[in-house]
Amino acid sequence: MDVLSGHLSESVGHWATLVLVCITGLYLFQTFCSWYRLRHFKGPLIATLSRIWLVRAVSGGTLHLDFHAVNQKYGSLARIGPNDLITSDPAVMRRMLGVRSPYRRSEWYTGMRFDPVRDNIVSVRDEDKHNALRAKMAAGYSGKENENLEETIDRNIQALVDLIRNKYLSTDSENKPMDFGRKAEYFTLDTISDVAYRERFGYIATDSDLYGYISNVESVFVAALMVTIFPSINWLLGLRILKAALPSDKDPLGIGKITGITKKVVAQRFGPNKKVERDMLGSFIAHGLTQEEAESEIVIQITAGSDTTATAIRTILLHLITHPRVTSKLRTEFTSNPISSPIKDSEARDLPYLQAIIKEGLRILPPIVGLMSKEVPPGGDVIHDKFVPGGTKIGFGALGIFRDQDAWGQDADQFRPERWIEASPEKLKEMDYTLELVFGWGRYQCLGKNLAMIELNKIFVELLRHFDFNIVNPLNPVRSVCHGIFFQSEMWITAFEREQS
């Protein structure tokens, strides 16, 4: 019996070893095939063999710098994964984003779903569905059907000004530092909710991270981004047992709480006693969005729109504070021109130095630097004289595009608004054309661009009309972490009253 048992154990051992060898061999064969199909593109060695490099880059907090370093070292079309390339060539980006381009959104976008089984305007990959959604939402985002859009933004800027004056105004005898990193997001969250459905969340009024939403987003964002690297995770999240662990509109805090508030507001716009408003949500519904679609789109608008616009505001204000020469020239421009109080968007667009500052701020640190990969069409493509097989994903090397010295000059790493003033008409046209990629391009251009630009056109003039700002710690002015979007806090500044011009 012992002999029989020994033979059986030996046989099982042999089979287990054989299975292990077969699995290992299959893995090595697949790895080799994956490496071989893109062997003519250079990149970090580990990135050519596995997705470990991407995981490390996404979770490390310096995503924009990591991507930029790859393009600097390996060229404008470099390899960052077994099936992933990244480009810092604006022409390649436009080639992929053009209206008639055969490129399509890759599986990366699956990770942009807030509900594992429901798409939104950012996550949807089906072109027909994407175009249909954009058609229904375009008027709401443009402001054409959003009553008193400018006035809505103005009152939220005034609320920020009042908060600074009433709670954080410093004097020669007393400093009252504030974390403008947080205040900027309080402003954008209140503004986007006010624009969307005429109900401000109340972040500025309470001067707090209501419902712990901001801290919640920051704590779960990296884990959520793993779906962009391993799309199959989304299928698992759709299972009932795992879906129960995701944010719910019944949650008292965090993303779930904001979702719950949004669903309640949207529900009021449907049914027999529906509320009708001429705001963004009202426009969406008037153009045919269903209740479920409206819920998804408002939530994605709040989460995506608030972070990115806040990043642009922080970045530009920080550069204004640390470049007093630029601030002085800007003040001279808006005090020597007949502008309203608050400034109108149309007036701001006619101030060339203000526009140069905004453009330079968006260039020096693009608010969105995630991969946003597009998929090469089935027949493949030839880029830079190299064949790119069909199904390959090509991502957005944002910092490489906007810090390229050939395009922007030897001082491309420096904040210098004058480059937009000094450029020849031909060069300026080229620069503007490239800068458009900050907001996407072609059929994938960000619908929220108009709203963001109105906010940027107004807020710096109004803040600098009322206050002089100083950085509390010049050696460490802001805590900035990047996982595709930027989480910025501890931007401690002081504000001093100045005579209004």
pLDDT for 443-501, tens place per residue? 999 999 999 999 999 999 999 999 999 999 999 999 999 999 999 999 999 999 997 65
For the segment 62-108, what is each residue's pLDDT rounded down to a tens digit?
A: 999 999 999 999 999 999 999 999 999 999 999 999 999 999 999 99
Average pLDDT over residues 419-423: 97
Considering only the C-alpha atoms of the chain, give the largest distance between any 2 of them, rounded to a whole number of Å. Answer: 103
What's the confidence (pLDDT) of residue 30?
A: 56
Give the C-alpha separation, 128 to 135, whole Å: 11
Given pLDDT bands bounded at 50, 70 and 90, which one contains residue 22? low
- The token pair that represents 462 in the structure block: 């109004």
Give the C-alpha separation, 185 to 317, whole Å: 13
Average pLDDT over residues 282-300: 93
Is 53 or 254 the better-scoring residue by pLDDT?
53
Reply yes or no on whether the pLDDT at 9 is more than 80.
no
What is the rounded average pLDDT for all residues in the chain?
A: 91
Question: Which element (helix H / strand E) includes 421?
Answer: helix 418-422
Reply yes or no on whether the pLDDT at 368 is more than 70.
yes
Reply yes or no on whether the pLDDT at 6 is more than 80.
no
Cis peptide before 324 (omega within 30 of 0): no
pTM of the model: 0.92
What's the confidence (pLDDT) of residue 19?
A: 64
What's the confidence (pLDDT) of residue 59?
A: 95
What's the confidence (pLDDT) of residue 20?
A: 66
What's the confidence (pLDDT) of residue 171?
A: 95
Reply yes or no on whether the pLDDT at 213 is more than 60.
yes
What's the confidence (pLDDT) of residue 246?
A: 67
What's the confidence (pLDDT) of residue 117?
A: 78
CATH code for the part of the protein at 38-497: 1.10.630.10
Backbone angles phi, psi at 90, to 5 degrees: -60, -30
Share of the chain above pLDDT 70, in %: 90
Amino acid at 273: N
Give the C-alpha separation, 259 to 120, whole Å: 14
Question: Which element (helix H / strand E) includes 264?
Answer: helix 254-267
Reply yes or no on whether the pLDDT at 14 is more than 60.
yes
What's the confidence (pLDDT) of residue 237?
A: 64
What's the confidence (pLDDT) of residue 249?
A: 79
User: Annotation-wise, does 482 bind a ligand?
Assistant: no
Least confident residue range of 24-33, 45-54, 246-255, 463-472: 24-33
* CA end-to-end distance (rounded Å), the chain: 100
Reply yes or no on whether the pLDDT at 32 is more than 60.
no
For the segment 98-132, what is each residue's pLDDT rounded down to a tens digit?
A: 999 999 999 999 988 877 778 999 999 999 999 99
Given pLDDT bands bounded at 50, 70 and 90, which one contains residue 242? very low
Reply yes or no on whether the pLDDT at 34 is more than 50.
yes
